[in-house]
């Protein structure tokens, strides 16, 4: 103890214990029972605090009376130091843990925030990818997805559904005249109205500028589809209030039905689209069902093709003749033979309808031969009777020219009828130039070697290229009606006509204007020195009688 406290024995003997115990009160306060132990500080001679562990024992006399207390102390400085160190470490550790926890929770919060942001963006992206920004409706991608599901479901349940392809009529005009902002507003309102009238199981999407697709589920009958289409058409017909304007618009609808009009997404949409175009053609503001349309068209085409096969045998074909008049003298110098079909039940069928059928079915070769022979026979008769140098124009279709028989046909008919080849003019159109040019030129040269003349019909309306004028063996240019129609109305048409005439003259080609209907058209052409004219102004095509 002396060593620990730094005292000499003499300095400390018989002194109060308070000398070495600064907190002596604590000791007195204690219930000094046996084997009590506690920690306290002692003070050394140098005033250093020394931590000690005190054990106390009460000292009793023989009678059991308390004599005093024996305190035994033990230096616990090192233990304390270690304990402190441990505590410090512990505290540090706790602090570190707390700090890390704090950091982690901040990181966690940041992460949560980022995740939320990403999720929100994902939502946005998904929304953008599957919906239309303007109307908020689903977009094409979304519709196709839905349509695919509908197909799978209908396959399983063996039921059917319809899709409606809507296109607003004349929307472009509204956009152009009233501005895009108002056009956009109109589209939104159209979308709202459509959503309002649709059933719960129906699905609508905006798939293009003014195009909407609607899926009508569980279609039980054609009447049900018709009713739906009528509802849509009627709801769009009602005026729209856009700012201060009342806008009227209509919609055309094409309908395709699963599975009749297609079993795949693309096919169904395509057929509805085709039907929609038919609705537009048949006057807009209406709807057309694809199946009826295709069926009708196919039926009609099949029937016409069959009938056309018999037309020749049944003498239903007839040639009309339209005179060609010299502009200066007013004399008829030639005729164009124009084919007519007197159909038993349909009446007079336009060549614009049946020539394409004849071409597709290959019948054109036989029909063309008949036309050529008939026209040559007829003109020969008129030559003998009235105008010795009367010429005849006969239209040749491209399939005739590439049929290999044409050169033989022409030369044989000329021999048969005795017509001077110079009085026969074969009219070709620019679409022959879609075929192998070298081959066509070869055939035309062979025909021309027979001294037959060749005219280019409807010049400048199709695949025109001025270089063809150089390559094709030609005698005459026919200026088409579409340019003649522009005389007095459109300076561009007049310029084109003047230029074609100058060009023709420079190339030593004859010129004839087609579809001349009015006196001022005639006067213009005469002033431009066009050689001949053909058109209702003088004569319509007419029967030989």
Q: How many residues bind ligand C2E (CB under 6 A)?
A: 20
Judged by CB under 6 A, the stretch of 92-100, 112-120, 441-449, 513-521 that binds ligand C2E is 513-521
Report if residue 352 touches ligand C2E, rule: CB under 6 A. yes
Report if residue 22 touches ligand C2E, rule: CB under 6 A. no
Instruction: Please state the φ and ψ torsions of residue 475, each to the nearest 5 degrees.
Output: -115, -25
486 binds, among ligand C2E, Ca ion, none (CB under 5 to 8 A by kind): none
Judged by CB under 6 A, the stretch of 290-298, 467-475, 500-508, 515-523 that binds ligand C2E is 515-523
> From the CB of 544, what's the least distance to ligand C2E, in Å?
14
As a whole number of angstroms, the distance between CA 501 and CA 495 comes to 10
339 binds, among Ca ion, ligand C2E, none (CB under 5 to 8 A by kind): ligand C2E
The token duo for 39 is 């920690």
CB atoms within 10 A of CB 152: 10
Report if residue 517 touches ligand C2E, rule: CB under 6 A. yes
As a whole number of angstroms, the distance between CA 230 and CA 224 comes to 10
Report if residue 355 touches ligand C2E, rule: CB under 6 A. yes
Q: How many residues bind Ca ion (CB under 5 A)?
A: 3
Report if residue 371 touches ligand C2E, rule: CB under 6 A. yes
As a whole number of angstroms, the distance between CA 202 and CA 235 comes to 17
The token duo for 154 is 């209908």
Report if residue 273 touches Ca ion, rule: CB under 5 A. no
Residue with Cβ nearer Ca ion (107 or 434): 434
> From the CB of 395, what's the least distance to Ca ion, in Å?
5
Report if residue 391 touches Ca ion, rule: CB under 5 A. no
- Helix ranges (H only) for 179-261 are 180-197, 222-237
Query: By C-alpha distance, which of 349, 346, 209, 229 is closest to 279?
Result: 229
The token duo for 436 is 């192998």
The token duo for 1 is 């103890």
Report if residue 395 touches Ca ion, rule: CB under 5 A. yes
Q: Are the CB atoms for 21 and 67 separated by under 8 Å?
A: no
The continuous run of DSSP H or E covering 469 comes out as helix 466-471
Residue 187 contacts by C-beta under 8 Å, 6 or more apart in sequence? Answer: 134, 135, 206, 210
Buried b (16+ CB within 10 A) or exposed e, 377-401: ebbbebbeeeeeebbbbbbbbbbbb
Instruction: Enumerate residues 443-482 that contact Ca ion by CB under 5 A.
Output: 457
414 binds, among Ca ion, ligand C2E, none (CB under 5 to 8 A by kind): none
> Can you tell me which of 391, 397, 409, 521 binds ligand C2E, judged by CB under 6 A?
397
CB atoms within 10 A of CB 475: 16
Residue with Cβ nearer ligand C2E (516 or 525): 516
Instruction: Please state the φ and ψ torsions of residue 390, each to the nearest 5 degrees.
Output: -55, 135
Report if residue 399 touches ligand C2E, rule: CB under 6 A. no
Residue with Cβ nearer ligand C2E (71 or 482): 482
Instruction: Enumerate residues 457-496 that contact ligand C2E by CB under 6 A.
Output: 457-458
The token duo for 10 is 């003499």
Report if residue 365 touches ligand C2E, rule: CB under 6 A. no
Report if residue 532 touches ligand C2E, rule: CB under 6 A. no
List residues binding ligand C2E (CB under 6 A). 322, 338-339, 350-352, 355, 371, 395, 397, 457-458, 514-517, 534-536, 541
Per CB under 5 A, residues contacting Ca ion are: 395, 427, 457
């Amino acid at each position: 103890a002396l060593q620990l406290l730094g005292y000499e024995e003499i300095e400390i003997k018989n002194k109060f214990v308070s000398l070495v115990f600064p907190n002596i009160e604590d000791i007195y306060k204690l219930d000094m029972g046996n084997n009590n132990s506690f920690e306290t500080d002692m003070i050394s001679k140098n005033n250093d605090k020394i931590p000690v562990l005190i054990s106390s024992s009460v000292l009793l006399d023989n009678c059991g009376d308390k004599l005093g207390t024996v305190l035994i102390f033990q230096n616990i400085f090192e233990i304390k130091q270690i304990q402190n160190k441990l505590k410090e470490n512990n505290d540090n550790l706790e602090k570190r843990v707390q700090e890390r926890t704090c950091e982690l929770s901040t990181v966690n919060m940041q992460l949560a925030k980022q995740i939320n942001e990403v999720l929100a963006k994902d939502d946005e992206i998904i929304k953008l990818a599957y919906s239309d920004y303007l109307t908020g409706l689903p977009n094409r991608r979304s519709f196709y997805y839905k349509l695919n599901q509908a197909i799978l479901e209908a396959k399983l349940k063996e039921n059917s559904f319809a899709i409606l392809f809507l296109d607003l009529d004349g929307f472009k005009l509204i956009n152009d005249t009233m501005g895009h902002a108002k056009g956009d507003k109109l589209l939104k309102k159209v979308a709202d109205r459509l959503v309002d009238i649709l059933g719960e199981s129906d699905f609508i999407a905006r798939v293009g500028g003014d195009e909407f697709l609607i899926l009508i589920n569980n279609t039980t009958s054609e009447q049900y589809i018709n009713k739906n289409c009528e509802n849509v058409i009627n709801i769009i017909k009602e005026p729209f209030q856009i700012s201060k304007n009342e806008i009227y618009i209509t919609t055309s609808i094409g309908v395709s039905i699963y599975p009749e009009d297609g079993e795949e997404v693309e096919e169904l949409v395509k057929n509805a689209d085709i039907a929609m175009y038919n609705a537009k053609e048949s006057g807009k503001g209406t709807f057309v069902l694809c199946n009826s349309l295709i069926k009708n068209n196919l039926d009609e085409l099949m029937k016409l093709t069959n009938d056309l096969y018999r037309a020749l045998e049944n003498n239903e074909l007839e040639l009309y003749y339209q005179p060609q008049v010299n502009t200066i003298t007013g004399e008829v110098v030639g005729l164009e033979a124009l084919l007519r079909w007197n159909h038993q039940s349909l009446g007079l069928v336009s060549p614009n309808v049946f020539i394409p059928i004849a071409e597709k079915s290959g019948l054109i070769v036989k029909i063309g031969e008949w036309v050529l022979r008939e026209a040559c026979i007829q003109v020969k008769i008129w030559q003998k009777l009235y105008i010795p140098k009367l010429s005849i124009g006969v239209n040749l279709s491209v399939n005739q020219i590439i049929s290999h028989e044409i050169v033989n046909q022409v030369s044989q008919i000329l021999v048969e009828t005795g017509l001077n080849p110079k009085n026969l003019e074969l009219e070709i159109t620019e679409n022959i130039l879609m075929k192998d040019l070298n081959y066509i030129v070869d055939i035309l040269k062979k025909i021309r070697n027979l001294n037959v003349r060749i005219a280019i019909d409807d010049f400048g309306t199709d695949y025109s290229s001025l270089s063809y004028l150089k390559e094709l063996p030609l005698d005459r240019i026919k200026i088409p009606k579409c340019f003649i129609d522009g005389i007095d109305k459109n300076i561009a048409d007049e310029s084109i006509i003047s230029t074609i005439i100058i060009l023709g003259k420079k190339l030593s080609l004859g010129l004839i204007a087609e579809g001349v209907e009015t006196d001022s058209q005639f006067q213009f052409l005469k002033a431009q020195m066009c050689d001949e004219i053909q058109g209702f102004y003088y004569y319509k095509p007419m029967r030989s009688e």
